[in-house]
Each structure stands twice: as C-alpha cells, then as structure tokens.
Structure 1
Amino acid sequence: MPDILPDTPRTPPRRIRAVAAAIFFVALLSLGGWWAGRELTAGEQPSRAPLGGARLFDQVVATIAQRYVDSLDATQVYDKAVAGMLRELGDPYTTYLAEDRLRRLNEQISGTYAGIGLQIDIRESWPVVLEPINGGPSERAGILAGDRIIQIGKESTRGWTRDEVSRVVRGPQGTAVSFVIERGDQHIPLSIVRDKVHLRAVQRVALLPNGVGYVDVNVFSAQTADELRAAVDSVVRMGARALVMDLRGNPGGLLEQGVAVAELFLDRGQNIVQLRGRPGTPSQSYTDSVPQRWPTLPLAVLLDRSSASASEIVAGALQDHDRAIVLGMTSFGKGSAQNVYPLSSGGALRLTIARWYTPLGRGINRAPAVDADGEPELDTGLVTLPDTVKPRYRTDAGRTVFGGGGITPDIVVGDTVLPIPVQALARAMGKNLGAYRDALAREAQAQRRNVKSPGDPVTMEMLNAVYRELERRNVAPPRAIFDAATPWVSRSLGYEMTRVAFGNEAEFLRRTQDDATLQRASSVLQASRTPRDVFGNIEKPTVTVPLRP
C-alpha cells in the first residue's frame, strides 16, 4: 500500500525556501483504450439508446477530436478530460502528477536528490550562494556563502533564475558539473562531482541565551523523527531546560512521520490522530506505542498560516493532551490525507482517501485558495473564524481548544497583515523588489569590514546608501514611502550585514531578538519547571503581540 501522504500545499515565494514550479497535466496514456475514434459524418445520427458513462465519454471524446474548431489529437483530449474530471471533484489535493512532478515529490519525501548541494539566491542578476548544504559536494569543495556563480559549463549565468541554475547543477549521481565562482577579485574554476544530497528536515538546532532549546522542523520527510530525536538530545546535552519546536512555514509531508514526531512527546497509549475514510469503511486510529523520550521537558510549538498537514497533526495531538503550549497564528487547515497511486504513464494519481481528526475529534479542514495551476496556496490570509463561533473541545486537563479550521494557538502572536508602510513600499517597488534586495546586499557587503559585532546598529547613513543605490538603478520609490518603512528596511539590512560578516548562525540569533512569537514562547518556558507549568503562565486565553518595527 502506498505511503499515506498528507500532501503539502504550495509555499509562496519566501526566504530561501521559495520554489517556483510550472505545473501542468500530461497525457494519461492508460486511458487510451477508451477512445473508439469512430468517424462521424454530418448525416449520421448518434444512437438514441441510453448511454452508459464509458460510452458517453467515448462519443464526446471522438466528436471533439474530429470536429472541434481547433485541431486536437487524442492525447490532448484525454489530457483535458483528466484535468477536468479531477478539477470537478473540488479537491485541490487530488491531482495527476506528471513524471517530473512525481520525481520532485519523491525527492521531497525522501529528503535526498542528486546534485551539488547549494542554496542560492539571485543578486544583481547573478546567482549567489546563500549557503552550501552541510555535508554536500559543494561544502566539501570549499564553496562559501557569498560566492557568485558567474559561469556554468561554458555559459554565463547572468540573468539566470534559481530554477534554471537548479536544473543545470542537478543530474545523475557520479557526473560532474563545471563552473566558475567569483570571490572578491578572484575567479575560481571548479569541477564538482554530483552526489546524493540530503536535505535536513531539522534545519536549525540552538540553545537560546535563556537556556531554552530551539529546533526548526521545516518538513516531514522520511527521516524527520530520527533527525528531531537527535537534535533534541543534542540541545538537552547543551543544557536546555525547555524546548521550542518551530513548525512555522512547515507545509507537512508524511503522515507516518507526523505520528512518529508526536510519539516522542506523548505517553504510551495516548491517541495521536484518527483517519476517517469514505462511508462504510472503518476509521483508522494511530496511538502512541512507546514512552515519551523527554517527559520533564516543558514544550512550546510555534505555528503560522503556512503550517499545514503533518504539522497540524503534531500540534493538534500535543495540544489536546496538554503536552505543549501552542503559539503563533491559526494554522493552514489541511485535514485530509492522500495516497499516491503509480500509473502506466510514468506519472501518478494523488488521491484524497481520508480526512483526519485530532485525538479530541477536532476536524481542522478548510477549503484553501488555489493558484493559477489549481494548486493550494499557503499563507494566503484566509479568514479565521472568531472563537465565539468555533466548535469548542476540552483537553485532558479541561482546557478549552477550538475546531473549525486550522489549529488555533493557545496564545495568538503576530500580525495578520503586513504593516501598512511595508505594504506601501512593496507596491511602490512593484516588479523591482529584486533590485531592492540587491541594494541591501550591496550595502551589507560594503559594510563587511566595518561591522564589529553581530548586533551592530544600522545607521541613517547606511539607509541613505541603500536609497542612493535604488536611485542609481532608476527604481527608487518616493522618498517619503521609503522613510516611512525605514524601521523594517533597517531590520532587513541588519540581518544581511550580520550574515555577511558573521555567518548564518549569527544572523539567526539577531533575528530571534525581533521574533515576537519566539520571544513570547521563550518567556513562557523560562518561567516553567514542568510541562504543565506552561499553562499556568498564560495571562489571558489569547494575547496578540504586534510586529515590532
């Protein structure tokens, strides 16, 4: 039986996780025998006998293929028929996966692919290394954050997109890719042999200054539970007295991995999730089969509107059993599970086979917005029902939690919309937002030798330099709009300066100072000696902390 996959909605462009993919339906060749292809003449009359479904379909396909004003071959007609049939189900998670799309899904689920292991961004029209993936071929070859890739093979990379770079540097394991990097005044030619690259599900492990451990789980792939177990063991050895598990931006993944992660924190015999299929089929419950690993460790889980699927399974189970306090924004609300069925075309059918419910029976599913390709979008600003109209449930300890679309946090932290000055700046920049990011990167590089510590302040002189760079590029917004947004511009420039001068870990620690959700969780945990203490440290059922400039 295929793995049950609470499939991941699409994540919009954000940070370095952003992935832009052109998704389309291809021919479903296994249906080819349905098309009779009988020639019809103008004088012929279709049979008046009652039409069965298959016969009706055959006649419609044949007529379209032979008579439609635009020429279509049978493959195109079947393409459109399959797309239309799945679209009419009204379920954005039930889709046909073409062969290349199925390959990308398998890479996401396995957490491995063949390539050189680079995270890149486009800066001033050139691909620039944000970070070589730990343990990958690029790191072993000595590539550094900030290196500019100016040539791949014999082609200049000026103007290339992230997707174009990714397609070229990936390839069969054991093959080589040659390129030239620019590092300062040096041009360095390299040839790197492609190898298996493991994309870690746990992207960051840190001990915060107040003794609270932090783990960032960004996907539920095949090794997530094992990686998380090792990460938490590590941060506990470092002296962590409590733990933050950050599921913000985590779109989900394998159901079995969501269950395995919840098992790490729950007691034997506690229910984790229940799957309910079509009428007449028995439901399936997943129950913890092992003792929890860190029973005395206070725990907080962070969510946002992009936390979906297996992320919600974990958060819902830990909330229902009072094992973790949940902070952030109401999650996405994907409460369904899919199987992936391989097809003879080389692709596969991803089909919704059940809806899932938390241990208390909370259904959290809600219909998402979809993009132009019919794919569900994350972080779309969906309207969240007020608590007064949501179904209410009682946890093991008698606390009130809510159903009705997504996981509602115990403490709501964060803004539902971007600050108005930031919106105004984004509108003024329009399609030139890339130039804005380039201007920040240029100023950060210019200040590299002047930065003395990771917390160095951003001065007005630096902000003026950013604006002058935008003017030089003829893309500067009105100065009044730029000035109104300077608290946020300053913050972004500070992050970039810290990353350039001191690396990614220093940038992360600087970001934590401005992260209202993480700061609130850290405060609650710092005052807690036991897992149950965290609930006594909530002043109100919900507390909204605005985004600080």
Structure 2
Amino acid sequence: MNKKRGLTKRGWFITILLSVIISVGFIAANTDRRNFEIVKNLDIFYTLFRELNSFYVDEINPDDLIKTSIDGMLESLDPYTTFIPESEMDDFRFMTTGEYAGIGALITRRGNFVVVSEPYEGFPAQEAGLRAGDRILKIDGDDMKGKQTSDVSDRLKGPAGTEVIVLVERPGKSSPITITITRRSIQINPVPYYGMLDDKTGIIILNNFTQNCSQEVEKALKELKKNENMSRLILDLRGNPGGLMDEAVKIANLFLPRGSEVVSTKGRVSQWDKTYRAPRQPIDTVMPLAVLINRGSASASEIVAGALQDHDRALVIGQRSFGKGLVQTTRSLAYNSSLKVTTARYYIPSGRSIQAVDYANRNEDGSVGFIPDSLMREFSTSGGRTVFDGGGISPDVIVERDRFSSISMALIGQQTVFDYATLFAVKTPSIEKPGVFQISDDIYADFISYVTGLEDFRYESQSQNQFRKLKETAEREGYFDVNKELFSAMEENLRPDVARDLGTFREEVEEFLAMELLRRFYYQRGAIIHNLKTDNEVAKAREILSNPAKYNDMLNGTILTHAGDKRGARN
C-alpha cells in the first residue's frame, strides 16, 4: 500500500516536472521568436535608412527623418507615449517643476515679429518695464524679424543673474524702447489666486500639478481658514492639465483622512501595480467642498476630483473632464534624450478607470466624446451613490459650457481686444481696481469706433454657414429660382454688421474687454477677480454650498446627481 502511494507521488512529481519543462521551453521559444522579430525589424529599418540616405533624390535630414519615424511609431500606441529629444528637455522640466531661468513673460508670434502677451507680475520683465503688446525687434543687438517664438524664447532665457537687452516697439510710441532685464530663476505659482468670494465662501484656483504645488494649496487653505466665518470652499481645477501624481495624492489628503485610498495604478509589469493612500493628517474633512472641472481638467486633476467624489467628500461641478487615466514614466535614453512611456492606468477609489474608452472617441479639443451607454459600467461611492466609468469624471452637477457669438470669437482670435487694450493702456494712466472696474459707455463706444475702423477685421457667423448650405441645396433642388427675393433678403439679414453685432452681444464682449484691460493694469490676478463675479460654475457652486440641506442630500444620494445618471456622459 505504501509502495503504491510512493509510486503515485513519484508519478505526480514527474508529470509536474515535465509540464514545467514544457512550459519553460514554450516561453523560451516565444522569447527567442520575439527577440528574433525585434532584431530582424531593427535590421530592416537600419538598411532601409541607409539606402534612403545614399540614394534618395534630394538631400535628407537624418535627425528629422528619425524623429518622424519615432513619433509615428509612438503615435500608434497612445497619445501620451512620446520621445523627448535633448533640445526639448528644458521645456519638459518646466512642465514638471514650473521653474526655469529667464525674464518671466508670455510671448506669441504676430506677423513677422514676436510680441509680449503678458509679463508676469513681480518678475524681471514686468519690473524692468516690459509691457503686453510690446513687439520684440532685437535681443542683444540681433534682429528678431522673422524669428519663431521658440527662437525668441531661447534668447530670452539664460542663466540667472545675467542681463539681456531687448529693443521693443510699443504701439503709441514714436521710437523703439531699449529695456535691460536681469534674468533670474522663475518659479510660476500654480495657485494664481485664492480668496473669499463672500463672507463664508473661499476659493482656491490651481492651474497645474507641478512640484510642491500641494504646499501652495495647503498654504492657501490655511490662510483662508484664518477667516473665522469661512465655512465652505471651492477648489477650481478647470483647465488644469494635471502633472505629478504624488502632488495629487497630497492635495486630496488635505480633505481626506489619513489612510484613505486616493488612486491605484495597474500595468502590464507588476512593479507598476500600486495603491496610493493619504499619508498624513488632513487639514479639514468636514467643511462643505465643491470641486470645479471642465473638459480641460485632466490626469492629476481627475484623480483629485474623482477621489473626493468617490469618498463623498465633495460635490463635483462643471463638465465631464478630459479622460486621461494613463500613467507615464520618464526613461532616460542616449544623448540626453528621454522616453515618456505609458506604464499603467489610473483607478480611483470606487474602482473606476479615468481613461476614456478609446483614444479615437474624442471631441475636437481632445476631451471625451459621446460614450454609448453599453460601454459604461456602474460603480459605487463610499456612501453608496452610483457613478459610472467610460472616461473622465462626470460631475455631480452639470453646468453647460458658455457659448460665445461669432463676433466675440473673432475679436479674441484676431487679437482685436488685445490690440485695443494695448493702445488703451498707453494713453490711460490707471483704471479702477478689480471688483469695481466696469466698461463704461464711453470706453465701449471708443472700442466700437476702433473695431469698425479696422479694414482687416472679418468674421462669419454659423448662421451664414448654414444659410450657404441651404442655398446650395435649394439650387440643386430648383427651389432657389422661385424664391430668389426671399433668399436675397435672408442673406442680407444674416450678413455680419460689426456695429450692430457689437451692440447685440455687448454683454459678453464687455467681459472679454474688461478682463484684458484689467490684465494690463492688475495682471492675471486682476482678470481673475473680475471674472469670478460673472462665472456661472462658481455661482452654481456658491448656490449649492450655501444650502447645507441640499448639499448633504446630494452627497448622501437622496437627490440624484448627474454622476449617478448616464446622461451625464453626454457633453
């Protein structure tokens, strides 16, 4: 009996051993085959490139050709796996740290020259007297005509403590102005504004998740809490493209108890499977909180909004977020270049993936497009509210995006408001402070006179586009000839009239104009303060936060929110 049992054990051992050997052999064979395919295709690529370089009819640029082939290869994987050559490493570091050495100004290309869009308040460019609208003619004596924005940017940057001499042409001035600027380390504050909207409601605006941004948010929160009357808070993440995941965990931790799950990652390689929890004691876990998001809120913004929503710690207000739930890791390559490679996916505490269902199902701005109900799955928050995946964070309260008239978009797109503000600032020494300043009838009349006097200001309305299609269809079907007078009258009525449309859409045009003028005299902070007065999403957040019963009912699931409604995915 014992002998039989021994033979059986031995038989099982031999069987398992053979299975392991076969499996190992199969894996080894697969690995050998995969390695062979890699070597084979790299050899093909090398020989192909060699033949192109030798025999192509025109001279080729090896760097450009290789960069194009690398970009094409990576583009076939996902939108976020990218190659970073040595020449772009400084820009990449700025994206993650928010720090560089230079003069502290935004610039943009206008015609043959680069123009200053905005000098940052408190930085060398502004302190030296550089203004928005200044056209950069020369840098250190070198002509900048025809130079690209990147070329001018590179010349303005440099080691901290060094000087750069900039010759600018300022509209309204008869001769160019020479400005000497001493460069220094520029650290852009990721919190451009925090303050009290009323005696009880505070707001913190976070622009990006750069290194140590959580410290700035914490500092802002502690400063606001010094106001004993403050009893509710709005965290504005709209237009925030994300950044460092660790900073997102720390910011969520300001409002979540220590040990709370914030986000987890899962990848093909097990080393990327991690769960990130709130590492320290929070600042406040009970104050009513609203988080504002929109289509521009991505990645780390979605982690914070999603974690606070899944823990029923905050109401999320606005529009469905971007839907970027892929984790990138930077790997060093030869010659000081790098590969930013997608290694895992983000999952927020309910188990939802932030990533959009597919990379192609996107709106024009890259955000999540229409998601069929069949592709969405149900999840539950800590308190039992139903939420859905499918891409991005669906807000608890949807506030439709502002839609602007064609003339407003033309005034912004053609820089007409910007140019008027430049001339206005030259001849106007000061304006009232933010929160008080309004566009007067005299200023608006002057603006109308300026715009109507421009020979090159042109725009077309959506109504005109639709009318043109209707007219073409009517001509094909034979209805146009019998209704010529009707079509002519309609065409005349739809033709843009600048003066008329500036009157019709004065309210929205005034907002753009007021913000640009305030930016000239009070910089970014001034424009933000003005905009908060008429911001629909901020108004909705204040309305809900000021009603504790409604706020609590929404968090408890007593009142159905859009996050628990699949229709919330259709933005």
When normalised by structure 1's length, the TM-score is 0.76
Which has the larger share of helix? 2
Note if 1:360 corresponds to 2:350: yes
Note if 1:323 corresponds to 2:313: yes
1:159-198 matches, cutoff 5 A? 163-180=150-167, 189-198=178-187
Look up the match of 2:468. Answer: none
Return the alpha-carbon distance in structure 2 between the equivalents of residues 322 and 369 of structure 1: 31
Give aligned-pair identity as a percent. Answer: 28
CA contact (8 A) 2:272 2:343 kept: no
2:540 to 506, 520, 523: 520
CA contact (8 A) 1:297 1:531 kept: no
2:83 to 96, 101, 114: 96
CA contact (8 A) 2:355 2:392 kept: yes
Return the alpha-carbon distance in structure 1 between the equivalents of residues 557 and 543 of structure 2: 9
CA contact (8 A) 2:554 2:560 kept: no
Secondary structure class of the residue paired with 1:114: strand
Note if 1:253 corresponds to 2:231: no
2:379 to 375, 393, 400: 393
Amino acid at match of 2:547: A
Look up the match of 2:369. Answer: 383
2:215 to 217, 220, 226: 226
Look up the match of 2:516. Answer: 496
Deviations along 1:82-136, one digit per CA (max 9) or x if unpaired, are 33432332x11111111122221112212210112224567897734634344x3
CA contact (8 A) 2:268 2:344 kept: yes
Amino acid at match of 1:275: T
CA contact (8 A) 2:81 2:339 kept: yes
Look up the match of 2:46. Answer: 61
Distance 1:243 1:165, change over 3 A: farther
Note if 1:402 corresponds to 2:388: yes
Return the alpha-carbon distance in structure 2 between the equivalents of residues 282 and 364 of structure 1: 17
Return the alpha-carbon distance in structure 2 between the equivalents of residues 516 and 503 of structure 1: 22
**1:356 Cα deviation from its structure 2 partner:** 1.1
Distance 1:414 1:180, change over 3 A: same
Deviations along 1:499-532, one digit per CA (max 9) or x if unpaired, are 4455544432221122101111122223339985
Look up the match of 1:206. Answer: 195
Deviations along 1:347-383, one digit per CA (max 9) or x if unpaired, are 111111101101111012124469xxxxx99834642
Secondary structure class of the residue paired with 2:414: helix
**1:282 Cα deviation from its structure 2 partner:** 7.0
Return the alpha-carbon distance in structure 1 between the equivalents of residues 130 and 226 of structure 2: 30
| Unaligned stretches of 5+ residues in structure 2 | 1-34, 459-495, 566-571
Greater alpha carbon shift after TM alignment, 333-342 vs 69-78: 69-78
Secondary structure class of the residue paired with 2:263: strand
Look up the match of 2:490. Answer: none
Query: Size of the alignment, in residue pairs?
Result: 482
Amino acid at match of 1:307: S
**1:317 Cα deviation from its structure 2 partner:** 0.7
Larger Rg: 2
| Unaligned stretches of 5+ residues in structure 1 | 1-49, 371-375, 545-549
**1:435 Cα deviation from its structure 2 partner:** 3.5
Distance 1:144 1:539, change over 3 A: farther
Look up the match of 1:437. Answer: 418
Return the alpha-carbon distance in structure 2 between the equivalents of residues 377 and 347 of structure 1: 32
Look up the match of 1:313. Answer: 303
Return the alpha-carbon distance in structure 2 between the equivalents of residues 535 and 322 of structure 1: 6
Deviations along 1:473-506, one digit per CA (max 9) or x if unpaired, are 3123432554443332122122233444555444
1:43-58 matches, cutoff 5 A? 52-58=37-43
Deviations along 1:237-272, one digit per CA (max 9) or x if unpaired, are 144322111111111111111111111211122111
1:276-295 matches, cutoff 5 A? 276-278=266-268, 283-295=273-285
CA contact (8 A) 1:298 1:529 kept: no
CA RMSD across the alignment: 3.8
Secondary structure class of the residue paired with 2:511: helix
Return the alpha-carbon distance in structure 2 between the equivalents of residues 454 and 281 of structure 1: 52
Note if 1:108 corresponds to 2:128: no
Kindly indicate whether structure 1 or structure 2 has the higher relative contact order, using CA contacts under 8 Å at least 6 residues apart: 1
Secondary structure class of the residue paired with 2:339: strand
Distance 1:534 1:130, change over 3 A: farther
Distance 1:429 1:207, change over 3 A: closer
Distance 1:221 1:284, change over 3 A: same
2:134 to 137, 148, 162: 148
Secondary structure class of the residue paired with 2:96: helix
Secondary structure class of the residue paired with 1:202: coil
**1:179 Cα deviation from its structure 2 partner:** 2.5
Return the alpha-carbon distance in structure 2 between the equivalents of residues 210 and 538 of structure 1: 29
CA contact (8 A) 1:225 1:261 kept: yes
Look up the match of 1:268. Answer: 258
Secondary structure class of the residue paired with 2:180: strand
**1:337 Cα deviation from its structure 2 partner:** 0.3
CA contact (8 A) 2:350 2:379 kept: yes
Return the alpha-carbon distance in structure 2 between the equivalents of residues 60 and 126 of structure 1: 40
Return the alpha-carbon distance in structure 2 between the equivalents of residues 130 and 514 of structure 1: 23
Distance 1:96 1:129, change over 3 A: closer
Distance 1:489 1:81, change over 3 A: closer
Distance 1:441 1:510, change over 3 A: same
Return the alpha-carbon distance in structure 1 between the equivalents of residues 176 and 303 of structure 2: 49
Distance 1:344 1:523, change over 3 A: same
Secondary structure class of the residue paired with 2:192: strand
**1:201 Cα deviation from its structure 2 partner:** 1.5
Look up the match of 1:508. Answer: 528
